């Protein structure tokens, strides 16, 4: 079994011209029908180059956001605080428009934990899973095998819109 897995991985490695691994850290904002929350997030991303300027992308990300202040609920009578944790997987394609300038798009899967703290009520917690889509544009430059840059990422899933600016730190293989 281990030999078959090793053989499969080594054969797939020859199908790609290069591989980038990067970690991305930055800000995140989540807009929902009820409120806006902001916070921080990170992504671990891999670019698998099929040709010199395009290929497939795979990403794991996590954001933790909270409403800045108390926000009004839909009824307008009570006040509440909103907290959203989003753990997600993304898969898609990327294309380098110019050297260093990359656009990417694809599908995403989200596991969301939402906590609403309303005045004079119990905390309302819920967990949901959603399918969505993403698009990003960013610039990165390779210094030998080190990659540095920035990326703007937008995600849409169910009633949520998430966006964020991330700093890129990575390795080129």
pTM equals 0.79
The answer to whether the beta carbons of residues 81 and 117 sit under 8 Å apart is yes
Tell me the C-alpha distance between 18 and 16, whole Å: 6
How many whole angstroms separate alpha carbon 100 and alpha carbon 150? 10
pLDDT the model gives residue 115: 85
Query: What average pLDDT score do residues 57-70 get?
Result: 86
pLDDT tens per residue, range 137-151: 999 988 888 889 999
Q: Beta strand 79-98 with 146-157: parallel, antiparallel or unpaired?
A: unpaired
Q: Which two tokens stand for residue 69?
A: 């202040």
CB distance 65 to 39 below 8 Å: yes
Furthest CA-CA distance within the chain = 64
Q: Supply the pLDDT for residue 74.
A: 58
């Amino acid at each position: 079994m281990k030999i078959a897995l090793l053989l499969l991985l080594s054969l797939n490695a020859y199908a790609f011209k290069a591989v980038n691994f990067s970690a991305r850290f930055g800000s995140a904002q989540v807009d929902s029908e009820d409120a806006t929350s902001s916070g921080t997030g990170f992504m671990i991303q891999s670019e698998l180059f099929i040709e010199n300027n395009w290929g497939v992308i795979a990403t794991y990300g996590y954001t933790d956001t909270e409403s800045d202040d108390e926000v009004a609920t839909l009824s307008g009578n009570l006040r509440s605080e909103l907290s959203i944790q989003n753990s997600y997987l993304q898969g898609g394609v990327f294309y380098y428009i110019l050297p260093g300038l990359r656009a990417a798009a694809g599908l995403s899967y989200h596991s969301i934990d939402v906590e609403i703290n309303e005045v004079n009520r119990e905390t309302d917690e819920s967990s949901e899973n959603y399918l969505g889509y993403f698009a990003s544009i960013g610039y990165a430059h390779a210094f030998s095998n080190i990659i540095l840059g920035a990326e703007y990422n937008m995600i849409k899933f169910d009633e949520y819109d998430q966006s964020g600016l991330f700093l890129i730190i990575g390795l080129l293989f």
